[in-house]
Structure 1
Amino acid sequence: MNYRVNPRNNDKLSILGFGCMRFAKDEKEVEKQIIYAIENGVNYFDTAYIYPNSEVILGRVLAKGYRERVKVATKMPPYFIKTYEDLDKVFNEELRRLQTDYIDYYFIHMLTDINIWSRLVEIGILKWIDEKKKKGQIINIGFSYHGGREEFIKLIDIYDWEFCMIQYNYLDENNQAGKNGLEYATSKGLPVMIMEPLRGGRLVTSLPKEVYQVFENAHAKRSPAEWALRWIWNHPEVTTVLSGMNSQEMIEENIKAASEVRANSFTEQDFELFKKVRQILNEKIQIPCTGCNYCLPCPKGVDIPTCFSCYNDRIIEGKIMAVGKYIMNTSLKTKANNASLCSKCGICEKHCPQKISIREELSKVTKSMEGFYYKPARFFIKRFMKL
């Protein structure tokens, strides 16, 4: 197993992290898988308050003599926090489930914008974090993020975080926080954890047949999953890549790859391979947005690149998943930035290097992604999350 060092505290973290959201159904099998992973060098385990039974199962396994051999990461959902007392209520429940008295890497889960953080600050989270760190109950504090690049950078700068987590893969190099966000966080001295390296497996199971053919004919015999992971690990800015491993075969394949790879080791052939893959995917993408952000800021606040990214995701994700991601990334904020806010002023089009008819394309996004279900779903979710 290869490791990368957290520059903040010199923790040696396995470059392969065990994502605990998608455990196998058989708990005995899960226990075998977790122990096998630990015995073969995986030392970073990521769970969350809202992952069904995940913290409980992980806690049971680690209590059998493995807790001190690993770093545990879990998350606090901001939408469950209405009062100062709720902070302890959620956190203490997580400690109970995990059968531990401290969390190595504690996330504010899915921090969508600065306003959500400001609400937590008003409740008193800064004092709470300080108390937990002084008691040794929280070792490192960070946040996980889905959304556009600009908001991500603002969140990085608003507080002295100790780590962060973003979605990143070869399809999202210029989407969400993207490569620029990854590099910005690293420039601030933050270790960066990566989620969704395979888009929930869809970069393995839902690719166009032409892409599978490229991987099949590659100069090295590797699965689409291994190629995707190696692409991320080639980035020296990445600390740990989470994989939602739920089979022994998957764990063994990923551990083998994580024991071989090195940052900045891609050859010209490797880069050419992904160039071909992107060419195929780009031909199927309906809006040729590169996520350069030259179209921003929009006078009405529309996050144009994120809207286009979610719309294009229908190719890989399917419409239902893409719409869900669209609502999460553009609408679950104190101030939404979805496509229908466009006033058709046209300012954005003057700055677009790709010469995209942005107003016309945003109309297509609105029609496709904001159907009859959109407003009721957004209203009830935002009300539940107190946004």
Structure 2
Amino acid sequence: MQYRRFGKLDWKVSALGFGAMRLPVIGGEYGKIDEPEATRMVRHAIDQGVNYVDTAYGYHDGNSEHVIGRILQDGYRQKVRLATKLPCWHVKTADDFDRLLNEQLEKLQTDTIDYYLLHSLGKDSWRKVHGLGVLDWAEGAIADGRIRYLGFSFHDDYDTFQEIVDAYDRWTFCQIQYNYMDIENQAGTKGLKYAASKGMAVVVMEPLLGGKLVNPPEAVQALWDTAVTKRSAADWALQWLWNQPEVSVVLSGMSAMEQVEQNLVSANASAAGLLDADELALIDRVRQTYSELCPIPCTGCQYCMPCPNDVNIPGNFAIYNEAVMYNNA
């Protein structure tokens, strides 16, 4: 396993982190985790050097934290640093901060959460929890030992991202959706570099765009086939992320042991600066090719909204565009 700096901390994180949002399930039911198989997968990843496990209050209909808590028994809790998230949408009053954290500690069977994130912050949710005093509360939870470090995960635009980063000088880390197709979406490359410039660790989620980059359409696969170094589409996407020194750890939500094994191979071969100029140019061409497959040139400007018939016009265009672009129509 390769290890990378985690912001300003005197600790190195495995290049690959285990995300517990897409654990194997039984009968296609999202809330019904196949616990024996999930245990085998997570513990195998840890045995191979993964030292960062990420879950959240709502994953798998609230069952992910329970299962991760059990998986990390038998000494595995001591081998990893554990991240989970405050579900900001469940916060109505300041009293909910303690209630939710204490419930999570119980579910996870631990006295301390190493990395605690304010989950899925955007403009409105940030202003809500900030107004309720979440930062002062979190400092108290750090002081009493229930959490060690505070961060946030993010889904909004760059300006909101910068506002949140600048609002507090003690953020340890952030978590952003980032991949070679999302360089200008949400926080994007600009946000990655801005957070890193502030000394924050950056955790990457959706490195494969929810799996959309794994099985490319023919036009994209033809480009990958021209590369001197042969890699799977998934490996190209992961190596593009690890190539950037500002990326601390890449989370993968793995649902099968085969995915764990493939991602471990990729992580073991990773390094900042690994890709050469020709390979980076190839990825640029792949991005352009995906973009050219987009059938509706909607920018999401919202000028067509609100629709008199209550249709989310740009949202529906986005769903259709993604289905065509990523071979999922």
1:193 aligns with 2:208: no
Q: Describe the SS at the equivalent of 2:174.
A: strand
Cα 1:122/1:152, change in 2 over 3 Å:
closer
**2-side partners of 1:257 and 1:91: how far apart?**
34
Q: Describe the SS at the equivalent of 2:107.
A: helix
**1-side partners of 2:55 and 2:38: how far apart?**
14
Query: What is the deviation of 1:126?
Result: 2.7
Residues 302 and 314 in structure 2, CA contact (< 8 A), matched pair in contact too: no
1:250 aligns with 2:196: no
Deviation digits for residues 40-77 of structure 1 (CA, Å, limit 9, x no counterpart): 00000110000021111110010221111101110011
Query: What is the deviation of 1:287?
Result: 7.1
TM-score under structure 2 normalisation? 0.86
Query: What is the deviation of 1:341?
Result: 5.8
1:179 aligns with 2:125: no
The letter of the residue matching 1:209 is E
Return the match for 2:58 from 44, 47, 50: 50
Query: What is the deviation of 1:368?
Result: 4.4
User: In the alignment, which residue of structure 1 is the partner of 2:294?
Assistant: 285
User: In the alignment, which residue of structure 2 is the partner of 1:259?
Assistant: 268
User: In the alignment, which residue of structure 1 is the partner of 2:21?
Assistant: 21
The letter of the residue matching 1:4 is R
Query: What is the deviation of 1:338?
Result: 4.2
Cα 1:99/1:367, change in 2 over 3 Å:
closer
| Unmatched 5+ stretches in structure 1 | 289-306, 312-336, 343-364, 372-387
User: In the alignment, which residue of structure 1 is the partner of 2:159?
Assistant: 150
Deviation digits for residues 207-254 of structure 1 (CA, Å, limit 9, x no counterpart): 322112222342222111111000011000000000011111111111
Query: What is the deviation of 1:35?
Result: 0.9
**2-side partners of 1:109 and 1:338: how far apart?**
25
**1-side partners of 2:7 and 2:189: how far apart?**
19
Query: What is the deviation of 1:133?
Result: 0.5
1:132 aligns with 2:128: no
The letter of the residue matching 2:198 is K
Q: Describe the SS at the equivalent of 2:22.
A: coil
1:162 aligns with 2:108: no
Query: What is the deviation of 1:129?
Result: 0.9
User: In the alignment, which residue of structure 2 is the partner of 1:216?
Assistant: 225
Correspondence 1:1-387 to 2 at 5 A: 1-25=1-25, 26-52=34-60, 53-113=63-123, 115-160=124-169, 161-205=171-215, 207-285=216-294, 308=299, 338-340=302-304, 367-369=313-315
Residues 339 and 366 in structure 1, CA contact (< 8 A), matched pair in contact too: no
The letter of the residue matching 2:188 is G
Residues 56 and 85 in structure 2, CA contact (< 8 A), matched pair in contact too: yes
Query: What is the deviation of 1:7?
Result: 3.1
* Count of residues in correspondence between the two structures: 302
**1-side partners of 2:250 and 2:54: how far apart?**
10
Query: What is the deviation of 1:80?
Result: 0.5
Residues 197 and 229 in structure 1, CA contact (< 8 A), matched pair in contact too: yes
Q: Describe the SS at the equivalent of 1:105.
A: strand
**2-side partners of 1:124 and 1:277: how far apart?**
44
| Unmatched 5+ stretches in structure 2 | 26-33, 318-329
**2-side partners of 1:124 and 1:150: how far apart?**
22
RMSD between aligned residues: 2.0
**2-side partners of 1:338 and 1:143: how far apart?**
27
Query: What is the deviation of 1:169?
Result: 0.4
User: In the alignment, which residue of structure 2 is the partner of 1:293?
Assistant: none
Report the more deviating stretch, 118-127 or 218-227. 118-127
**2-side partners of 1:248 and 1:367: how far apart?**
39
Query: What is the deviation of 1:85?
Result: 1.7
Cα 1:143/1:14, change in 2 over 3 Å:
same
Query: What is the deviation of 1:279?
Result: 2.7
The letter of the residue matching 1:50 is G
Q: Describe the SS at the equivalent of 1:170.
A: coil
Cα 1:211/1:139, change in 2 over 3 Å:
same
The letter of the residue matching 2:286 is V
Residues 211 and 277 in structure 1, CA contact (< 8 A), matched pair in contact too: yes
Residues 2 and 267 in structure 2, CA contact (< 8 A), matched pair in contact too: yes
The letter of the residue matching 2:140 is E
Query: What is the deviation of 1:144?
Result: 0.5
**1-side partners of 2:302 and 2:154: how far apart?**
17
The letter of the residue matching 2:163 is K
